[in-house]
Amino acid sequence: MRKLFAANWKMHKTRNEAAQTAAELVTLTAAALPTGREVLILPPFTALGEVKEALGTDARFALGAQNFYAQKQGAFTGEISPGMLLDVGATYALTGHSERRHVLGEDDALVGQKTAFGLQAGLRVILCVGEKIEERKAGKLAEVLTRQITAGTKDVPRDVAPEALSVAYEPVWAIGTGEVAGPAEILEAHALVRAQLVALFGQAGNSMRILYGGSVKPDNATEIVGLDNVDGVLVGGASLKADDFSRIVLA
């Protein structure tokens, strides 16, 4: 399976800034990208079209969205459908990002609906999971991950194509804090995620990608990407500058 290097730009960048960063990233990485690696940019909705254009037709560079709503169309003010994302050239989308869960109030049930709907609509979905610091301290890591993955995939067909569904493990306490999870913590959590995917999807669970996210930087990326069961990274802050993110992609 190809390792996935995903840039989550969150609520950053105008269209021009996004196009420029994407173009720089392609310039910095296209020639040197090791085989078996794929790059994904998740810009804000307003910049999807510009980033698609900047990425061009190289299949190793993909476009994705940070969010969508689980309906085809209708009276859902402020929302975007998977079909609209596919129309602009996005092939991936996130569900369950920690900021959607904990800042915008999305619960497990909604995350599950969105994951199943997005997959069914033809998007590749990256389901994000992760524990809060108080849950980790209370010894609830396995319980939280099991609950989030079970609920998040509740309505996903058991024969879903494994390349269409990925899980990103992003411990809430490591997001945007500079506090990266250590190798032992990542290994433990990713093994739990893998076991849960195999329990739910059988052998196909071994072919689903598990990404790590949370304060990934150029200087820790090589070690993280080399760990067992780490099939890519989901990067926030350090993905905003093409130079930093290119060093992660090529790490």
Give the residue numbers marked as catalytic. Answer: 97, 170
Q: 43 or 213, CB closer to ligand 13P? A: 213
Q: 43 or 214, CB closer to ligand 13P? A: 214
Q: Which stretch binds ligand 13P (CB under 6 A): 28-36, 139-147, 150-158, 211-219?
A: 211-219
Q: Which stretch binds ligand 13P (CB under 6 A): 109-117, 200-208, 213-221, 222-230?
A: 213-221
8 sits near ligand 13P (criterion: CB under 6 A): yes
Q: 156 or 235, CB closer to ligand 13P? A: 235
237 sits near ligand 13P (criterion: CB under 6 A): yes
Cα distances (Å, whole numbers) of residue 41 to 11, 25, 56, 82, 90:
13, 10, 12, 16, 9
List all residues 6 or more positions away from 187 whose beta carbon is below 8 Å from its beta carbon: 227, 228, 229
Cα distances (Å, whole numbers) of residue 34 to 2, 94, 241:
10, 25, 20
**Which residue from 235, 242, 248, 249 is in contact with ligand 13P, where contact means CB under 6 A?**
235
Q: Contacts with ligand 13P in 149-178 (CB under 6 A)?
A: 170, 175-176
For the chain, counts of helices (H) and of strands (E): 10, 8
Report the C-alpha gap between 3 and 221 in whole angstroms.
13
Least Cβ distance, residue 235 to ligand 13P (angstroms): 5
40 sits near ligand 13P (criterion: CB under 6 A): no
Say if CB 216 and CB 224 are below 8 A apart: yes
Vertex 57, ends 60 and 17: CA angle to 5°? 85
Vertex 148, ends 173 and 124: CA angle to 5°? 100
Least Cβ distance, residue 216 to ligand 13P (angstroms): 5
Closest-CA residue to 251 (of 87, 83, 5): 5
215 sits near ligand 13P (criterion: CB under 6 A): yes
**Which residue from 49, 213, 218, 232 is in contact with ligand 13P, where contact means CB under 6 A?**
213
Query: Which residue ranges make up the site for ligand 13P (CB under 6 A)?
Result: 8, 97, 170, 175-176, 213-216, 234-238
